[in-house]
Amino acid sequence: MSILERQVPGVVMTPDNIRSRKLPVVTNVLVAVAAFAVAAVVVLGTGIGNWVLAVVVGAVLYLVGLYFAAGRVEGRRAAKNRTMQALIYSACVLAILPLASVVWTLVSKGIERLDANFFSTSMNNIGARDPLGGAYHAIIGTLEQVGIATLMAVPLGVLGAIYLVEYGRGKFAGTVRFFVDVMTGIPSIVAGLFILSFWVLIVSPWFNDGQPRFSGFAASLALAVLMLPTIVRSTEEMLRLVPGPLREGSYALGVPQWKTILKVVLPTALPGIVTGVMLAVARAAGETAPVLLVAGGAAAINFDPFGGNQQSLSLFVYQQAGDASRYAPARAWTAALTLVALVLILTIAAKLLARRNKLSR
């Protein structure tokens, strides 16, 4: 016999009778309004702080008031639960606010030079008093450098992760994993100095009549060094999440290990692998120091990544932000907005492609 079927003297057990009392939504809203009103009067009225302090004080007063109001209606236990729930929601909003602030700042300040001239011209022959000039050369450089770096880092990173998960045993695998973890935290300028000392100063003179030469390809090498540990670690974790019975079922059917990895393990982990790759791409696209050290930057368009200085969007932002021209800050903000939009578009495209491949199998 269920609890609803039991008869208690004088009480008919129905769902309406066993429901606990709930704090009305109107009361919750009134507590919030009163809390923030009192905080605004105290903080702004006395002049002890600005609106940020008023919001913080208002949030604290709201949590305290919510606890006492809910305690009177729902009881102490439910009041604690409701207060902690409100605290979690407040923490979520607090985490979103900086991101929303960054997006709003980028859009509001970057829209000033969001025109055809910005995307179709370079900074070649642009003086300090010229309001024109764009980032076409920087966009081309970013796409080429990040694209080449991705072509180098993704196969090596995925293969390295497959080795660590599927084949790696013993001290050698542990050593590889240790150095991957160490490489994850190296500063970007260290990768740039490594490529400068190895590729630019030692290798490039072999192809340039004995003279060292900056190039976009050198920047791609530095970016690949930065992308590699991120891809290895993220892919390794995704491969470890693939259920063991999937592998065992494939082995039971007589499928060799390499084919199981190719046809079962990798497709299952593909969405997570794509996410890790796009995180690495986003980091590479925003790096400035390696490009400055080994590509040098340029004001003109250079489509050849293997010869001559080349620009990137991140380096363009850095240079324009420090330029004395009054038109430079607008170019810097628009270039930053373009960089964020470019990474966003690539991420969405990669996610849709991975989802389509997953659904088509």
Residue 337 lies in a domain: yes
Dump the DSSP string for 219-264.
Answer: HHHHHHHHHHHHHHHHHHHHHHTS-HHHHHHHHHTT--HHHHIIII
Torsion of CA 296, 182, 232, 223, to 10 degrees: 0
CATH code at position 262: 1.10.3720.10
31, pLDDT greater than 60: yes
Both 108 and 140 in one domain: the answer is no
Both 322 and 344 in one domain: the answer is yes
Distance CA 112, CA 37 (A): 37
Model pLDDT, residue 20: 65
Query: Where does a domain end: 112, 133, 150?
Result: 112
216, pLDDT greater than 90: yes
The pLDDT of 253-271, averaged and rounded, is: 91
Both 191 and 323 in one domain: the answer is yes
In terms of Cβ atoms closer than 10 Å to its own Cβ (0-12, 13-18, 19+), residue 234 is buried
Both 34 and 161 in one domain: the answer is no
Both 171 and 305 in one domain: the answer is yes
Both 343 and 266 in one domain: the answer is yes
Both 169 and 99 in one domain: the answer is no
151, pLDDT greater than 50: yes
pLDDT band with cut points at 50, 70 and 90 for residue 161 = very high
Both 258 and 159 in one domain: the answer is yes
Both 326 and 308 in one domain: the answer is yes
Distance CA 303, CA 98 (A): 37
The pLDDT of 5-26, averaged and rounded, is: 60
Tens-place pLDDT, residues 266-283: 999 998 999 899 999 999
Q: Count how many domains the chain has.
A: 2
What domain range includes position 43? Answer: 18-112
Q: Distance from CA of residue 313 to its chain's centroid?
A: 17
Query: Where does a domain end: 80, 112, 144?
Result: 112
Both 223 and 350 in one domain: the answer is yes
Q: How many CB atoms lie within 10 A of CB 126?
A: 17
The pLDDT of 286-292, averaged and rounded, is: 92
Residue 326 lies in a domain: yes
Contact yes or no for 316/138 (Cβ under 8 A):
yes
Tens-place pLDDT, residues 62-87: 999 988 888 888 888 888 888 898 88
56, pLDDT greater than 90: no
Both 80 and 166 in one domain: the answer is no
The pLDDT of 204-220, averaged and rounded, is: 90
